[in-house]
Each structure stands twice: as structure tokens, then as C-alpha cells.
Amino acid sequence: MKSLVANFSKQLTEAINIGNNAKLTASKNKISNVLICGLGGSGIGGNIVSELVIGDANVPINVTKGYFIPAYVNENTLVIISSYSGNTEETLNCMELAISKNAKIVGITSGGKVLELCKSNSLDCILVPGGMPPRACLGYSLTQLFFVLNFFTIIGNKFKNELDASVKLLDAEENNILSEAKIIAQKLVGKTPILYATTNNEGMLIRFRQQLNENSKMLCWHQIIPEMNHNELVGWRDKNENLSVLIFRDKDEYERNNFRININKETISKYTSNITEVYSKGSSAIEKTIYLIHLGDWISIFLAEMRGFDASEIAVINNLKSALSKI
């Protein structure tokens, strides 16, 4: 897992090449909405990309993480099936339902049943390299989502330069990222992490929470500003130094959120002294998000090492899948 995280910028470069060479076919019908289907490491890209393109996309983009699709899906819907293994049972069920609705379908996978269904139904499919843990292949799936949306003229071309800039940013900042990740990981050892960010960074924050769950083998929770100012902030009433707060920030964040964060820190500091602010780097929203994703991945890896766990081990998930396969 450590080597996979270290090669993230190379994965992004490879993913960009795959996207540029993807063979897709035009929809017979005008696309009026988009649904991205996927779970875990394969699905989180949908959350992240849908947030990043919200100011550019000309149709609604939704994400589903279960067995079923919304009633609105029809022949005017672009359904993107994202399953790294190609065998995610929930996503496969969504795919079958989308086929029955005559939706325009594009698969993003390394193989499995998703590839089989794409071939047997003459559906578009983008193949990515296989044989790795899905959560270590976010660079592949996230990048393809941009290219698919662009092909169907739902977003423009600016993402291409921003992805290229993201690769350069990671390569230039890698040593600094490693250093910061180790410092932050040390602050989380023996603590329960509480993660905060503003609305436009929720996808990134979910990704980080999931990486702490899977790689670091620990529980944590996240909430979003300003939503948490309407509920969770009231829950800070008990002194607890076993809680460690990380606030992900951006130097260009909306001024009223900036003001909210300062008040939040003042309130929370009465109950725990463990508050760390983590700032993004980069010029565009894509660069900033990818930077924080990579930083978060490294934090989860260092935490796993400090806690004495193998970051790649997911025995409990494999046991669950094995049990489900017998039903």
C-alpha cells in the first residue's frame, strides 16, 4: 500500500493518458442528467468530481452508493458505472437496472462482470489496470470521470490543464507532504479523529475518513461547515483530550466560513487542546483537492505503521463478501 500511495502522481499521469485515448460513443438522446454508481474506493471519485464540477456542469450530477437507482433514470440519463474490480454486487445491480431503463451507460473498470456486461450489451467501457486495492486506484477512476463528462459536453476542457498541474504540484511537494503527514499522524495516535471541512471539500473529507478506516484501522467521524454549526457544535460540552480535531482549510475559502471556523475553534478549544489546521496547496480546486487527498493518504499510511497495522489488510470486508456470496 505504501508504494501505491508513493506512485499516486504516476498513476494520475497514466490515468490522463487512458482518458485521452478512451473510445466512447455519442448518446442517441440528449443527456439531461448524470448518475454515478459506485461504492468504496471506486465510488468516492463520484462524490469528489461532482463537487469539483458543480460550477461547470450543465446538467445535474448525482451519486448512488447502494443497490438501486433513482426513478428519474431513463434514456436521457448518462449512467457511469464505476467498479474497479468489476464485481461489486451493489453496482452490478444498478447497472442491470440502468440497462433496463435504456440509459446511456459507460463503465469504468479493470474487468470482471462489468466488462462482461458492457461487451454483451455493446456499452462503452474504459479499462484501467487491475490487480490493486480499489482504494489505491482513485487516480484512475476519478480521472476517467472528468473525461467521460467532458466527452458528453457536460463540462469543458479546463480540467485537463488542472490535472496536469496537479501532477506537477504533487511531484514538487512530495517531501513536504511526507513531512507534514508524519507530524499530523503523530497527533492522531491514541486519539479519535474528528474531521471538519467546508461544503466543497466533503468528498475529499469522506475519502480521508475512509482511508483512516481501511488503512489505519480506526474509527473517526467527519462533519461539514457550515452544516455542523447548526447541530454538532452544540455537542461540544465535555472535556475530552482523547479527541483530535483536524480542520481542512483553504486560503481562498468563503469569508463567512472563515469567520465560522474561527468561532468553532474558540468553542472546541474549551473541550480539547488537540486542534490542527491543514491547508491545501495549488491554484485550482482540482489541484487543491488532489493535494489534500494525497496528504490524507500518507497520513493514513503513517498512522497504520504507528499503530502496528498492515494498511492493506481488510479481512473483515473479505469475510463479509464471502458470507454474502453464499446467500
Note the maximum CA span of the chain: 61
Please count the other Cβ atoms lying within 10 Å of the Cβ belonging to residue 259.
10
Q: What is the mean pLDDT of the chain?
A: 97
The 10s digit of each residue's pLDDT in 232-258 is 999 999 999 999 999 999 999 999 999
Q: How far is CA 229 from CA 192, 197, 206, 275, in A?
A: 20, 12, 19, 17
The 10s digit of each residue's pLDDT in 270-301 is 999 999 999 999 999 999 999 999 999 999 99
pLDDT-derived band at 143, boundaries 50, 70, 90: very high
Whether omega before 70 lies within 30 degrees of 0, making that bond cis, reads: no
Beta carbons within 8 Å of 89's beta carbon, 6+ residues apart: 67, 324
Position 230, amino acid: H
Q: Active site residue: 51, 202, 214, 287, which one?
A: 214
321 is catalytic: yes
CB-based contact 164:192 (threshold 8 Å): no
Spatial distance between the Cα atoms of 1 and 312, rounded to a whole number of angstroms: 6
pLDDT number for residue 321: 87
Q: Cell numbers of 230, please?
A: 447548526
DSSP 221-252: EEEEETGGGGTGGGG--S--TTEEEEEEE-TT
Q: Taking the complete model, does pTM exceed 0.75, yes or no? A: yes
Spatial distance between the Cα atoms of 306 and 215, rounded to a whole number of angstroms: 12
**What is the mean predicted confidence (pLDDT) over 84-90?**
96
What domains appear along the chain, each with residue ranges and CATH number?
A: 2-156 (3.40.50.10490), 176-307 (3.40.50.10490)
Spatial distance between the Cα atoms of 27 and 113, rounded to a whole number of angstroms: 23
Q: Active site residue: 23, 30, 230, 251, which one?
A: 230
214 is catalytic: yes
Residue 121 has pLDDT above 90, yes or no: yes
Q: Which of 308, 254, 296, 291 is nearest to 163 (CA)?
A: 291
Q: How far is CA 36 from CA 80, 138, 240, 244, 325, in A?
A: 5, 15, 39, 33, 24
Spatial distance between the Cα atoms of 288 and 90, rounded to a whole number of angstroms: 31
265 is catalytic: no
**What is the mean predicted confidence (pLDDT) over 307-325?**
91
CB-based contact 189:216 (threshold 8 Å): no
